[in-house]
Amino acid sequence: MIKRILEHLQPLVACDSQNPPRQIDSDTSMFRYAADILQRAGCAVEFKDFGEGHVNLLAVRGKPGVLFNCHLDTVPIGEGWTRPPLDVTLEDNRVFGRGVCDIKGAAAALLSVAEQTDFPIAILFSSDEEGAGSCCIQRFLDVSGHRAFEQVVVCEPTGCQAILAHRGFLSVKGHFSGIMGHSSEFRALQDSANHRMARWTAAALDHCEREAQEGRPTCFNLGLVSGPAAVAFSASWTGQGIGLSSRSWSVSRPAARRYSPIVASCRSRGTFPGSWVIPLSFAPCRTVPITAWRAGPPRPSTTASAKPKRDGRPASTLAWSRVEPNRT
């Protein structure tokens, strides 16, 4: 099995699926390779290409009750690689390559399972999990027939632990406006869009620090900033991919409400951006009491993220005895 997984992993990693820029479509080599393997394994394969790199591949064999979901896009390659990022390198029983861990390795494992068994199976490969503006899963759920699965296993690198909840996420795009002028003018302290952006970021970071001190650690990341460069002090900057997610185990309020203190804090300092767009958000999933999982299978509406334990037992036979919310 391991040898075959590595054979599947090679063409998946070799396909450049960095997101951004998300230059992906239904003819991208990783999708065509996966479709070929799954069709030969007896699966009915369906593509949905929503444009701009948003692609779903659904493969179904028989009448399965469990859907396995795995994204094939990766974060950008970045710098500092000591091995080829778009190749599979095996050293000391470890595999190196962009996306091997998150999460093409799981995709290769699913392909191996599909071709080496004849059990009913359903696999959804998607392409827009990493970057902003994800829509693949929502588009999938918009089809009523896709909600018939009793369970969903979402493949993510969780340290071989079953994770039974999601902390929620809020993606924000804010536009900071100012009044252009010369750097020698004292009013730049207040009028520069650069300074307004810096004050807003500082206010958000201060809020997150206070939340952590109160036992509510909150993830915050300012992912991308863009704006004019050749001016004395600028009048317009845009912050994109401002990601927020809560680590609170039992939060059930909508994500946007969960982060309203950040908004209020920044407004009180007069540093809130002129426009606020939320391209993606979802509330934390409600948790399921661990005793309920020990007593039997989850309710049909439950969504779980799981991986087999190191002893090789399949996720369906795991004893749900340990859940660490901070690892979601």
Per-residue pLDDT tens digits for 25-39: 999 999 999 999 999
Mean pLDDT for the chain? 77
Question: How far is residue 92's CA from residue 223's CA, in Å, rounded to a whole number?
Answer: 34
Supply the pLDDT for residue 221. 82
Report which of 36, 30, 35 is spatially closest to residue 13, judged by C-alpha positions: 30
115 given a catalytic annotation: no
Supply the pLDDT for residue 227. 72
The total of other beta-carbon atoms located within 10 Å of residue 260's CB is 11
pLDDT by residue (tens digit) across 70-109?
Answer: 999 999 999 999 999 999 999 999 999 999 999 999 999 9
**Catalytic residue (choose from 115, 129, 211, 214):** 129
Q: Specify the DSSP class assigned to residue 200.
A: H
Question: How far is residue 135's CA from residue 195's CA, in Å, rounded to a whole number?
Answer: 33
Q: What is the mean pLDDT of residues 203-221?
A: 85
Would you list the domain boundaries of the chain? Answer: 2-157, 169-282
> Is the distance from CB of 141 to CB of 150 less than 8 angstroms?
no
- The rounded percent of the chain whose pLDDT value lies above 70 is 71
Q: Of 83-87, 193-197, 220-224, where does the model show the most confidence? A: 83-87
> Is the distance from CB of 24 to CB of 115 less than 8 angstroms?
no
Report which of 134, 144, 105, 110 is spatially closest to residue 124, judged by C-alpha positions: 110
Question: How far is residue 161's CA from residue 315's CA, in Å, rounded to a whole number?
Answer: 9
User: pLDDT-based confidence at 110, cuts 50/70/90?
Assistant: very high
Torsion of CA 263, 269, 271, 275, to 10 degrees: 40
pLDDT by residue (tens digit) across 245-294?
Answer: 443 322 223 344 555 555 555 555 555 556 777 776 777 775 554 444 44
Tell me, which fold does domain 169-282 have in CATH?
Answer: Alpha-Beta Plaits (3.30.70)
Report which of 159, 158, 153, 192 is spatially closest to residue 176, judged by C-alpha positions: 192
Tell how many helices (H) and how many strands (E) occur in the chain: 9, 11
For 139-171, give one letter per residue: b (16+ CB within 10 A) or e: bbeeeeebeebebbbbbbeeeebbbbbbbbbbb
Options 3.40.50.300, 3.40.630.10, 3.40.50.720, 3.40.190.10; CATH of 2-157: 3.40.630.10
Stronger pLDDT, 282 or 114, i.e. the higher one: 114
Supply the pLDDT for residue 179. 81
The total of other beta-carbon atoms located within 10 Å of residue 235's CB is 17
Supply the pLDDT for residue 198. 85
- Enter the pTM of the model: 0.69
- The rounded percent of the chain whose pLDDT value lies above 90 is 44
